[in-house]
Amino acid sequence: MENAFRSGILAVLALIFISSSFANASDSPFIVAHKRVALKKLNPIVERISVSIDVYNRGSATAYDVTLADDSWAQDVFDSVIGNTSMSWGRLDAGSLVSHSFEFESKVKTVYYGAPALITYRVPTKSGLQEAYSTPTLPLKILSDSDTGKKIEKLKRLQSSAPPAFHHHRNQTLTAVRSKMITIPYLTALTTYFSYGLLFVFGQLRDFFRRIIDLWSHSSLQGYAPICLGLEDFYIRRLYLRIQDCFNRPISSPPDAWFDVVERVSKDNNKTLQRTKNVSRCLNLGSYNYLGFAAADEYCTPRVIESLKRFSPSTCSSRVDGGTTTLHTELEERVASFVGKPAAVVFGMGYVTNSAILPVLIGKGGLIISDSLNHNSIVNGARGSGATVRVFQHNTPSHLEKVLREQIADGQPRTHRPWKKIIIVVEGIYSMEGELCKLPEIVAVCKKYKAYVYLDEAHSIGAVGKTGRGVCELLGVDTAEVDVMMGTFTKSFGSCGGYIAGSKELIQYLKYTCPAHLYATSVSPPAAQQIISSIKVILGEDGSSRGAQKLAGIRENSNFFRSELQKMGFEVLGDNDSPVMPIMLYNPSKIPAFSRECLKRNVAVVTVAFPATPLLLARARICISAAHTRKDLIKALEVISSVGDLVGVKYFPAEPNKQQLEEGRVKME
Amino acid sequence: MDTLATAFENTVRTASDWVTLAFDAPSARAVVFGVQIGGHLFVEGLLFVVIIFLLSQKSYKPPKRPLSKKEIDELCDEWVPEPLIPPITEEMKYEPPVLQSAAGPHTRINGKEVINFASANYLGFVGHEKILESCTKAVEKYGVGSCGPRGFYGTIDVHLDCEARIAKFLGTSDSILYAYGLSTMFSIIPAFSKKGDIIVADEGVHWGIQNGLQLSRSTIVYYKHNDMESLRSILEKFTQKNERAKKLRRYIVAEAVYQNSGQIAPLDEIVRLKEKYRFRLILDESNSFGVLGSSGRGLTEHCRIPIEKVDIVTAAMGNALAAEGGFCTGSARVIDHQRLSSSGYVFSASLPPYLASAALTAVDVLEENLDLITKLKKNVATLHKGLSDVHGLEIVSDPQSPIVFLRLRNSTGSIKGDLQVLEDIADRVLKEDSIFCVTSKRSTIDKCNLAAGIRLFVSAAHTESDLVKAYESFKRATPLVLEGQ
Ligand SMILES: Cc1ncc(COP(=O)(O)O)c(C=O)c1O
Q: What are phi and psi of B70, to 5 degrees?
A: -65, -40
The reply to whether residue A491 touches residue B131, judged by beta carbons under 8 angstroms, is no
As a whole number of angstroms, the distance between CA B377 and CA B375 comes to 5
Q: Residue B62 is which amino acid? A: P
**Weakest-pLDDT range from A46-55, A297-306, B347-356:** A46-55
Using the predicted structure, report yes or no on whether residue A160 has a pLDDT greater than 70: no
As a whole number of angstroms, the distance between CA A130 and CA B367 comes to 80
Please compute the mean of the pLDDT values over residues A330-350 and round it to a whole number. Answer: 93
Interface test with B, best of A312, A445, A628 (most B CBs within 10 A): A312
Which helix or strand (DSSP H or E) is residue A584 part of? Answer: strand A580-586
Please compute the mean of the pLDDT values over residues B152-177 and round it to a whole number. Answer: 93
Residue in chain A nearest B158 by alpha carbon: A252
Q: For ligand 1, is residue A594 a contact (CB within 6 Å)?
A: no
For A445-477, write each residue's pLDDT tens digit.
899 899 999 999 999 999 898 899 999 998 888
Indicate which atom in ligand 1 lies nearest the CA of residue A489: 10
Using the predicted structure, report yes or no on whether residue A526 has a pLDDT greater than 90: yes
As a whole number of angstroms, the distance between CA A374 and CA A233 comes to 25
The answer to whether the pTM exceeds 0.90 is no
Q: What is the mean pLDDT of chain A?
A: 76
Closest CB to B98 among A228, A326, A405: A326
For B201-221, write each residue's pLDDT tens digit.
999 999 999 999 999 988 899
Within this chain, do residues B361 and B472 fall inside the same structural domain, yes or no?
no
Indicate which atom in ligand 1 lies nearest the CA of residue A354: 4
The reply to whether residue B182 touches residue A349, judged by beta carbons under 8 angstroms, is yes
Q: For ligand 1, is residue A473 a contact (CB within 6 Å)?
A: no
For residue A621, give how far its alpha carbon lies from the nearest alpha carbon of chain B (Å).
10
- How many other C-beta atoms can be found within 10 angstroms of the C-beta atom of residue A271? 11
Give the pLDDT score at B465: 93
Give the pLDDT score at A192: 75
Please compute the mean of the pLDDT values over residues A325-337 and round it to a whole number. Answer: 94
* CA-atom Rg of chain A in angstroms: 26
Q: What is the mean pLDDT of chain B?
A: 87
Q: What is the b/e burial string over A397-430, where b = at least 16 CB atoms within 10 angstroms of the residue's CB?
A: bbbbbebbbebbbebbeeeeebbebbbbbbbbbb
Using the predicted structure, report yes or no on whether residue A244 has a pLDDT greater than 60: yes
> Where are the CATH 3.40.640.10 domain residues in chain A?
300-539
Q: For ligand 1, is residue A456 a contact (CB within 6 Å)?
A: yes
Using the predicted structure, report yes or no on whether residue A229 has a pLDDT greater than 70: no
Residue B255 in any domain: the answer is yes
Interface test with A, best of B135, B153, B239, B286 (most A CBs within 10 A): B153
| Domain boundary residue, one of B368, B387, B406 | B368
3-state SS string for A112-132: CCCCCCCEEEEEEECCEEEEE
As a whole number of angstroms, the distance between CA B161 and CA A523 comes to 23
Give the pLDDT score at B339: 86
Within this chain, do residues B182 and B225 fall inside the same structural domain, yes or no?
yes
Residue minimizing CA distance to atom 15 of ligand 1:
A458
Closest CB to B180 among A227, A352, A360: A352
Within this chain, do residues B140 and B233 fall inside the same structural domain, yes or no?
yes
ipTM of this complex prediction, to 2 decimal places: 0.85
**Weakest-pLDDT range from A384-393, A584-593, B162-171:** A584-593
As a whole number of angstroms, the distance between CA A291 and CA A533 comes to 13
As a whole number of angstroms, the distance between CA B72 and CA A406 comes to 8
Chain A environment of B161 (Cβ under 8 Å):
none
- Phi/psi zone of residue B329: left (φ > 0), alpha (ψ -120 to 50 degrees), beta? beta
**CATH code where residue B349 lies:** 3.40.640.10
Q: A375 at the B interface (CB within 8 A)?
A: yes
Q: What is the b/e burial string over A33-44, where b = at least 16 CB atoms within 10 angstroms of the residue's CB?
A: bbbbbeeeeeee
Residue minimizing CA distance to atom 3 of ligand 1:
A458
Please compute the mean of the pLDDT values over residues B166-191 and round it to a whole number. Answer: 92
Give A84's pLDDT tier (boundaries 50, 70, 90): low
Give A113's pLDDT tier (boundaries 50, 70, 90): very low
Give the pLDDT score at A618: 85
- How many other C-beta atoms can be found within 10 angstroms of the C-beta atom of residue B156? 30
**Weakest-pLDDT range from A190-194, A257-261, B202-206:** A190-194
> Where are the CATH 3.90.1150.10 domain residues in chain A?
243-284+546-668
For B62-103, write each residue's pLDDT tens digit.
556 677 888 888 888 888 899 999 999 888 888 899 999 999
Using the predicted structure, report yes or no on whether residue A1 has a pLDDT greater than 80: no
Using the predicted structure, report yes or no on whether residue A659 has a pLDDT greater than 60: no
Residue B7 in any domain: the answer is no
Q: For ligand 1, is residue A488 a contact (CB within 6 Å)?
A: yes
3-state SS string for chain B: CHHHHHHHHHHHHHHHHHHHHHHCCHHHCEEECCEEECHHHHHHHHHHHHHHHHHHCCCCCCCCCCCCHHHHHHHHHHCCCCCCCCCCCHHHHCCCCCECCCCCCEEEECCEEEEECCCCCCCCCCCCHHHHHHHHHHHHHHCCCCCCEHHHHHEEHHHHHHHHHHHHHHCCCEEEEECCHHHHHHHHHHHHCCCCCEEEEECCCCHHHHHHHHHHCCEEEEECCCCHHHHHHHHHHHHHHCHHHHHCCEEEEEECECCCCCCECCHHHHHHHHHHHCCEEEEECCCCCCCCCCCCCCHHHHCCCCHHHCCEEEEECCCCCCCCCEEEEECHHHHHHHHHHCHHHHCCECCCHHHHHHHHHHHHHHHHCHHHHHHHHHHHHHHHHHHCCCCCEEECCCCCCCEEEEEECCCCCCHHHHHHHHHHHHHHHHHHHCEECEECCCCCCCCCCCCCCEEEECCCCCCHHHHHHHHHHHHHHHHHHHHHC
Please compute the mean of the pLDDT values over residues B439-447 and round it to a whole number. Answer: 89
Within this chain, do residues B305 and B157 fall inside the same structural domain, yes or no?
yes
Within this chain, do residues B393 and B274 fall inside the same structural domain, yes or no?
no
Q: A136 at the B interface (CB within 8 A)?
A: no
| Domain boundary residue, one of B350, B368, B386 | B368
Using the predicted structure, report yes or no on whether residue B395 has a pLDDT greater than 70: yes
Give the pLDDT score at B34: 52
Indicate which atom in ligand 1 lies nearest the CA of residue A431: 16
Residue in chain B nearest A408 by alpha carbon: B76
Within this chain, do residues B280 and B158 fall inside the same structural domain, yes or no?
yes
Which helix or strand (DSSP H or E) is residue A199 part of? Answer: helix A186-216
Please compute the mean of the pLDDT values over residues B145-158 and round it to a whole number. Answer: 91
Q: A48 or A131: which carries more pLDDT confidence?
A: A48
pLDDT cut 70: percent of chain B above it: 89
Q: A301 at the B interface (CB within 8 A)?
A: yes
The reply to whether residue B126 touches residue A361, judged by beta carbons under 8 angstroms, is no
Using the predicted structure, report yes or no on whether residue B156 has a pLDDT greater than 50: yes
Using the predicted structure, report yes or no on whether residue B59 has a pLDDT greater than 70: no
Closest CB to B126 among A247, A316, A408: A316
Q: A349 at the B interface (CB within 8 A)?
A: yes
Q: What are phi and psi of B282, to 5 degrees?
A: -110, 120
Give the pLDDT score at B269: 93
A56 three-class SS: strand
For domain A243-284+546-668, is the CATH number 3.90.1150.10? yes
Closest CB to A321 among B118, B142, B337: B118
Residue in chain B nearest A509 by alpha carbon: B92
The residue among A453, A459, A450, A449 whose CA lies nearest residue A440 is A453
**Weakest-pLDDT range from A620-629, B27-36, B385-394:** B27-36
Please compute the mean of the pLDDT values over residues B229-241 and round it to a whole number. Answer: 85
**Weakest-pLDDT range from A251-260, B39-48, B140-149, B155-164:** B39-48
As a whole number of angstroms, the distance between CA B108 and CA B99 comes to 6
For residue A624, give how far its alpha carbon lies from the nearest alpha carbon of chain B (Å).
12
Q: What is the crossing angle of helices A525-538 and A300-311, to 10°? A: 150
Within this chain, do residues B357 and B432 fall inside the same structural domain, yes or no?
no
Using the predicted structure, report yes or no on whether residue A139 has a pLDDT greater than 50: no
- Phi/psi zone of residue A114: left (φ > 0), alpha (ψ -120 to 50 degrees), beta? left
Question: Is A570 in contact with A583 (CB distance < 8 Å)?
Answer: yes
A459 CA → ligand 1 middle, Å: 8
Please compute the mean of the pLDDT values over residues B119-125 and round it to a whole number. Answer: 92
Name the A residues in 381-420 with CB < 8 Å from any B CB: 383-384, 404-405, 408-409, 418-420
Please compute the mean of the pLDDT values over residues A273-284 and round it to a whole number. Answer: 89
Q: A526 at the B interface (CB within 8 A)?
A: yes
Using the predicted structure, report yes or no on whether residue B402 has a pLDDT greater than 90: yes
Give A177's pLDDT tier (boundaries 50, 70, 90): very low
A667 CA → ligand 1 middle, Å: 38
CA atoms within 13 A on the CB side of B51: 6
Q: A348 or A32: which carries more pLDDT confidence?
A: A348
For B303-358, write each residue's pLDDT tens digit.
999 999 999 999 999 999 999 999 999 988 889 888 888 889 989 999 999 999 99
Q: What are phi and psi of A364, to 5 degrees?
A: -55, 140
The reply to whether residue B136 touches residue A310, judged by beta carbons under 8 angstroms, is no
Within this chain, do residues B263 and B330 fall inside the same structural domain, yes or no?
yes
Chain A environment of B290 (Cβ under 8 Å):
none
Give the pLDDT score at A281: 92
A634 CA → ligand 1 middle, Å: 29
For residue A491, give how far its alpha carbon lies from the nearest alpha carbon of chain B (Å).
5
Closest CB to B140 among A296, A314, A405: A296
Q: Count H helices and E strands in chain A, helices first.
A: 20, 23
| Domain boundary residue, one of B348, B368, B388 | B368
Within this chain, do residues B298 and B432 fall inside the same structural domain, yes or no?
no
Please compute the mean of the pLDDT values over residues B428-437 and round it to a whole number. Answer: 92
**Weakest-pLDDT range from A87-91, A422-426, B255-259, B336-340:** A87-91
Closest CB to B72 among A256, A322, A409: A409
The reply to whether residue B346 touches residue A300, judged by beta carbons under 8 angstroms, is no
Give the pLDDT score at A149: 54
As a whole number of angstroms, the distance between CA A52 and CA B481 comes to 78
Residue B374's domain comprises: 91-124+370-483
As a whole number of angstroms, the distance between CA B256 and CA B271 comes to 12
Within this chain, do residues B205 and B307 fall inside the same structural domain, yes or no?
yes
Within this chain, do residues B287 and B374 fall inside the same structural domain, yes or no?
no
Give the pLDDT score at A32: 55
Using the predicted structure, report yes or no on whether residue B36 has a pLDDT greater than 50: yes
Sign of CA dihedral A611, A616, A620, A623: negative
A300-539 has which CATH code? 3.40.640.10
Give the pLDDT score at A71: 47
As for how many domains chain B has, the answer is 2
Give the pLDDT score at B340: 82
Please compute the mean of the pLDDT values over residues A78-86 and round it to a whole number. Answer: 64
Give A37's pLDDT tier (boundaries 50, 70, 90): low
Give B413's pLDDT tier (boundaries 50, 70, 90): confident
DSSP secondary structure code for residue A458 in this structure:
T
Within this chain, do residues B418 and B429 fall inside the same structural domain, yes or no?
yes
Give the pLDDT score at A274: 87
What is the number of CB-based contacts under 8 A between chain A and chain B? 370
Please compute the mean of the pLDDT values over residues B246-261 and round it to a whole number. Answer: 88
Please compute the mean of the pLDDT values over residues B459-467 and round it to a whole number. Answer: 93
The reply to whether residue B192 touches residue A496, judged by beta carbons under 8 angstroms, is no
Using the predicted structure, report yes or no on whether residue A164 has a pLDDT greater than 50: no
Give the pLDDT score at B401: 93
DSSP secondary structure code for residue A609 in this structure:
-
Q: A187 or B450: which carries more pLDDT confidence?
A: B450
